Copies of this chain bind each other. A is one copy, B any other.
Amino acid sequence: MPVFLNANEPGFDTQFAALLSAKREDAVDVDDTVAAIIQDVRTRGDAAVIDLTSKFDKLDLTPETLAFTPAEIAAECARVSDADRAALHLAADRIRAYHSRQMPDDQRWTDDAGASLGWRWGPVSAAGLYVPGGQASYPSSVLMNAIPAQVAGVARLVICAPTPHGVSNPLVLLAAQIAGVDTIYRIGGAQAIAAMAYGTETITPVDKITGPGNAYVAAAKRRVFGRVGIDMIAGPSEILVIADADNDPDWIALDLLSQAEHDESAQSILITTSAPFGQKVAEAVAARLTTLERRAIAGASWRDYGAVIVVDDLAQAAALSNRIAPEHLELCVADPEALLHQITHAGAVFLGQWTPEAIGDYIGGPNHVLPTARSARFSSGLSVMDFIKRTTIARMTPGALRAIGPAAERLAISESLQAHGLSLRARLDRLNAGE
């Protein structure tokens, strides 16, 4: 059974703090192994990637077969049913429409001193997307990672997706095609991350790597960070539902279970103003857990990390939610817009009972790659911003330099940086001489 807490009972603060700090992930230390794999790929290039793929994925490749050919992709995509294909296209269209609004504007202006200032955004030149194999091979994640890069204007977009024993996921290939991916390599693990970061004879390096992966992939991303940009290292998924008594307990139970079924380390929490409703939801979860396909996983998650918290009012619910800073937050209350105003930290918010979190995983439009483990306090979900960068622009006129240059020289001198000061002084002297 999950924890059942009342926010107004003695000892709640301690119990809540324990819930917040529960260590939900056993970080396997694979760093030495990963360091060796990266070094091997840097040294031996394609040969290392091919050897490691043979070893880990039981698949024998050559430099020529590292990437799927267009014909192979077309053949795989042809296996996708019409219904799945239509669903993927609708999802891609909606995700693209949402992310297209994220492109920020360039700015340029002239200030009172006559200085022309501004900035300009531009895409990274090449991005690499990692797609896990096996159970976690999600076509929806391909769309969520590749479409923001495509919208950003990234010129070259590649995917690495392991195909253990040569088995690929047609939906992943179709999603990649829809999202404008140029090349798909059938490699995975730390060796794929190393190949994308450093390049091999066959694989041209990229500038940014995103996408989820296992402990080896995560460790490799940490190691290549700096050489290339990376997205966040995501932890187990989480959902927080704030619900009043006027909800169907079974709907809320299914929403909680839709995170719990991801991972035994996932966390699902209900905060409710009604203790009887909280009890009904717990009963509905238990009932669903008798038949759910992934009941072993979802049951362990709910048992070990699930919680029902009863509060006096929605203000108290919002305050607790802000301490949790949840990845996903459902506001199943009569006036979700009013409650939204009280929410300061959350990755994604779903308003009202007709907005199950699962709609956001697939087709709502917002990204499903979101900050976990309370990091919504300081970070955001994946977006177009992850694939662009800003160049700041400054242009002085002689008049502008005369107006603000002396103060800059003053500060340079105060910091004992003489050459900085002289680079200003030499120009100011010329201006003064010309008067």
How far in angstroms is the closest Cβ of chain B from A356? 4
Chain B residue nearest to A358 in the complex (CB): B420
Q: Is A36 an interface residue (CB 8 A)?
A: no
In the assembled complex, the Cα of A250 lies from the Cα of B233 at a distance in Å of 48
Binary CB contact string for chain A from 215 to 235 against chain B (1 if under 8 A, 0 otherwise): 000000000001011000100
B86 near A258 (CB under 8 angstroms)? no
Contacts of A355 in B (CB 8 A): 394-396, 401
Of the residues B345, B353, B363, contact of A404 by C-beta under 8 Å: B363
A430 to B354, CA, bound (A): 11
Is A426 within 8 A of B394, CB to CB? no
- A413 shortest CB reach to chain B, Å: 9
Q: Is A340 positioned at the interface, with any CB of B under 8 Å from its CB? A: yes
Cross-chain contact of A348 among B354, B394, B422 (Cβ < 8 A): B394
A251 at the interface (CB under 8 A from B): yes
**Which B-chain residue is minimally distant from A421 (CB atoms)?**
B358
> Which listed residue, B362, B390, B404, touches A407 by the CB 8 Å rule?
B362
Chain B residues positioned under 8 Å from A354 (CB to CB)? 395-398, 400-401, 427
Count the copies.
Answer: 2
A16 CB-CB contact with B under 8 Å: no
Could you say which residues of chain B place their CB within 8 Å of the CB of A423? 251, 254-255, 257-258, 356-358
The reply on A200 being an interface residue by CB < 8 A is no
Q: Which of A83, A90, A408, A416 has the most CB of B within 10 A?
A: A408
Could you say which of A91, A347, A393 has the most chain B C-beta atoms within 10 Å of its C-beta? A393
| Contact assessment for B344 and A411 in the assembled complex, using a CB-CB cutoff below 8 Å | no
A122 / chain B contacts, CB cutoff of 8 Å: 344-345
- A115 CB–B CB distance under 8 Å: yes
Which of A216-274 touch B at CB < 8 Å? 226, 228-229, 233, 248, 250-251, 254-255, 257-258, 260-262
CA distance A298 to B420 in the complex (A): 12
Binds B, one of A156-164, A183-191, A379-387: A379-387
A357 and B422 alpha carbons, distance in the complex (Å): 12
Is A303 an interface position by the 8 A CB rule? no
Q: Are A424 and B359 in contact (CB under 8 A)?
A: yes
Contact B380 A366 (CB under 8 A): no
A-B contact pairs, 14 of them (CB 8 A): A84-B414, A124-B378, A251-B423, A262-B417, A343-B391, A355-B394, A355-B395, A356-B423, A358-B423, A366-B394, A371-B389, A378-B389, A380-B390, A381-B392
Beyond A348-B393, A363-B411, list 5 extra A-B contacts (CB 8 Å).
A343-B391, A349-B391, A349-B393, A358-B420, A380-B390
- Give 5 nearest A-B pairs by CB, closest first: A229-B378, A366-B392, A351-B395, A87-B407, A254-B423
